[in-house]
Amino acid sequence: MLTHKGRFDPTRFEDLTVTVDFHCHSACRFCIVQEGMNLFKGVSEDKLRAAVADNARSRRYRRICFTGGEVTLERKLFDYVAIARASGSFEHVRLQTNGRMLADMALARRLLNAGVDEYFVSLHGHDAATQDNISQRPGSFDEAVRGIANLAELGVCLMTNTVICTLNVEHLSRVVDTVQPFRPVRMEFWNYLPMEDYADERDLVAPMSKVAPEVRRALGKIRELGIEGRVKYVPRCLLGDFAEAHDDSQPDVVIAEKFYDAYPQFACLYEAKCEHSDTCLGLHHPYVTKFGWEEGRLQPTPRTRPFVEPEDGLWVGSDRPGEGMADALDHPAWRALVEGVAPRNEARLSAVRLTRRTCSFLFEHGDSSVEVVLSARDDGAPALTRTPSFNIHYRSVAGPAREKLASIVRDAVKTIGERDPGGMVLDRRKGLVGDEAARRRPSGRAD
């Protein structure tokens, strides 16, 4: 059976990220797209138009996020934003940026007027010495802070991101001090992921003995300030009272499929024992190689459900900055496919789980439960039945009420078949773009 545990998969179903191009005027020491800058091209306008047209039909994504490289350096950015906004199919348009160009208020204003309403700004240090050392560009801290101040003045949705590494791990709560006057709705902290330096020759991977207490301190400050916190790639069980900030998911990305081949794998020794292993990736392999499994530090939460080898990647609900995590049913178009099935069968629909490759509906009847699973229609793959968009099967049958569960499955299959309009997209690919998005590597020959 194909299992996705341990693989980094972008999974936040409702967000679509588009890499406009890979140029940047900073050179962050941990940059995960550094290798990509040489190898990959950005997404072409044709590809973008196709993705936007697809969304206008399927309403699969609520948000489009433009990223790079440094996206504000790209002249075609305004064209891309205009294409997305003209479709009317995205509720939000987000930029992921180092913020430096936004020190120019005129540019910040133009972007807002063009329809960019959310800004995810990287700030990796609390002061110029730390940030500029990481970005390897003197002045980058001052520019980014001016950019953040401009965004605050414009009253947009402002979020910040800090990548945790050995160069800033001791200053995370000071980053909060630096940013908080500008009232971001959310601050995120992403633990560094080596994309090529798996042996950590640059010595950027910090030990959990330092990372965990510093992250908790920063989250404590954020909570007092009423700012939302999010943390990636730090084990959930090390976040203590702040476990709700844990979020190892990522959005769908229009980027070369191969980009994800370089992502490190993750594992946790306690996967089978821990209640949270469905949504917590654990530790990445380069970390384990450097610091070990942390078996004495991790604290698995004993399972209340039997361990089932996960078939799908992680899943989460909508991303709603400033409003906390969405609940497990918050996928209206998909939920509508089975609306009415649960009450007709004295059951409860307790979760709608969307990943790129599947949508599963968890039905519970007393102590019994079953998952009805949709995957992309594939006439060559086994399925209980097929509808215009999907193959359908069921799994995870638990509890004594087998007849009732069978009736729920029959009703769900019939109802989905009647309501599936065709064109609802589930997709097994990670990157959504093929080899054409890769640059040719230089041959190395002088001919």
- If one asks whether residue 216 binds ligand SF4 (CB under 6 A), the answer comes out as no
| Distance of alpha carbon 225 from alpha carbon 156, whole angstroms | 18
Judge contact between 316 and 12, C-beta under 8 A: yes
Pick the closer one to ligand SF4 by CB: 19 or 277.
Answer: 277
- If one asks whether residue 234 binds ligand SF4 (CB under 6 A), the answer comes out as no
Which position among 145, 298, 354, 437 is part of the footprint of ligand SF4 (CB under 6 A)?
298
- Least Cβ distance, residue 252 to ligand SF4 (angstroms): 24
Which position among 121, 169, 179, 268 is part of the footprint of ligand SF4 (CB under 6 A)?
268
Of the ranges 40-48, 89-97, 143-151, 266-274, which one interacts with ligand SF4 (CB under 6 A)? Answer: 266-274
- If one asks whether residue 313 binds ligand SF4 (CB under 6 A), the answer comes out as no
Pick the closer one to ligand SF4 by CB: 208 or 373.
Answer: 208
- If one asks whether residue 63 binds ligand SF4 (CB under 6 A), the answer comes out as no
> Site size for ligand SF4, by CB under 6 A?
13
Pick the closer one to ligand SF4 by CB: 233 or 394.
Answer: 233
Pick the closer one to ligand SF4 by CB: 178 or 277.
Answer: 277
Of the ranges 31-39, 93-101, 252-260, 274-282, which one interacts with ligand SF4 (CB under 6 A)? Answer: 274-282
Site for ligand SF4, residues 275 to 294, rule: CB under 6 A: 276-277, 280, 282
Of the ranges 146-154, 271-279, 356-364, 373-381, which one interacts with ligand SF4 (CB under 6 A)? Answer: 271-279
Pick the closer one to ligand SF4 by CB: 194 or 300.
Answer: 300
C-alpha neighbours within 13 Å on the C-beta side of residue 324: 7
Which position among 147, 194, 235, 321 is part of the footprint of ligand SF4 (CB under 6 A)?
235
Which position among 8, 66, 119, 270 is part of the footprint of ligand SF4 (CB under 6 A)?
270
- If one asks whether residue 237 binds ligand SF4 (CB under 6 A), the answer comes out as yes
Of the ranges 134-142, 221-229, 264-272, 406-414, which one interacts with ligand SF4 (CB under 6 A)? Answer: 264-272
- Least Cβ distance, residue 187 to ligand SF4 (angstroms): 21
| Distance of alpha carbon 413 from alpha carbon 345, whole angstroms | 13
Which position among 20, 103, 219, 274 is part of the footprint of ligand SF4 (CB under 6 A)?
274
| Distance of alpha carbon 341 from alpha carbon 347, whole angstroms | 8
- Least Cβ distance, residue 164 to ligand SF4 (angstroms): 16
- Least Cβ distance, residue 287 to ligand SF4 (angstroms): 11
**Could you tell me whether strands 390-398 and 385-386 are parallel, antiparallel, or unpaired per DSSP bridges?**
antiparallel
Of the ranges 62-70, 166-174, 188-196, 273-281, which one interacts with ligand SF4 (CB under 6 A)? Answer: 273-281
- Least Cβ distance, residue 128 to ligand SF4 (angstroms): 35
- If one asks whether residue 100 binds ligand SF4 (CB under 6 A), the answer comes out as no
Judge contact between 192 and 163, C-beta under 8 A: yes
Binding footprint of ligand SF4 on the chain (CB under 6 A): 235-237, 268, 270-271, 274, 276-277, 280, 282, 298, 300
